[in-house]
Amino acid sequence: MADLALVEEAFTRIISNGPGADLRKAAKKFWEAHQSEAGVDKEVGIEFEKSITTISLDYRNPALKCLEDCVTSKKTDENATECYFELALCLSKRIVHTM
C-alpha cells in the first residue's frame, strides 16, 4: 500500500504543476473524491485516466507508461484506488517538473 503522505504530495504536485488543465482538474477531482465520505467512484478514476491523453506530446509517452502500469495493476488487483495512487506517484515523478 502506498504511503498516503507521498500520495497526497504527488496529487498536490499534479494539481499545482501538472502539464495540462485536464490532467490538473481530473487529479483534483479524484483527490477530492478520495477525501470525501462518498469515496472515489469508477467514473472519477476513468476521467483521471483519460486526462492523460490530453496532455502535450512531450509528456504523453512517459505518462502513458505510468497509465499502462496502472491498467495492468487494476487487472490483477481489486483495489483500483491503490492503482490510481501509484499512477499519481509515477506521474509526479516522470512528468511534473517544479522549479
Residue 99 pLDDT class (50, 70, 90 cuts):
very low
In this predicted model, what pLDDT tens digit does every residue of 27-70 receive, in sequence order? 999 999 999 998 889 999 999 999 999 999 989 999 999 999 99
pLDDT at residue 21 is higher than 80: yes
Q: Using CA atoms, how far apart are residues 69 and 64, in angstroms rounded to an integer? A: 9
DSSP string covering the chain, please?
A: ---HHHHHHHHHHHHHH-SSHHHHHHHHHHHHHHHSSS---HHHHHHHHHHGGGS-HHHHHHHHHHHHHHHHHHHH-S-HHHHHHHHHHHHHHHT----
Q: Which amino acid is at 99?
A: M
Summarize pLDDT for 80-89 with one digit per residue, the tens.
Answer: 889 999 999 9
* pLDDT score of 1 more than 80: no
Q: Which of 34, 52, 56, 45 is nearest to 91 (CA)?
A: 52
pTM of the model: 0.91
Inform me whether the pLDDT recorded for 93 exceeds 70: yes
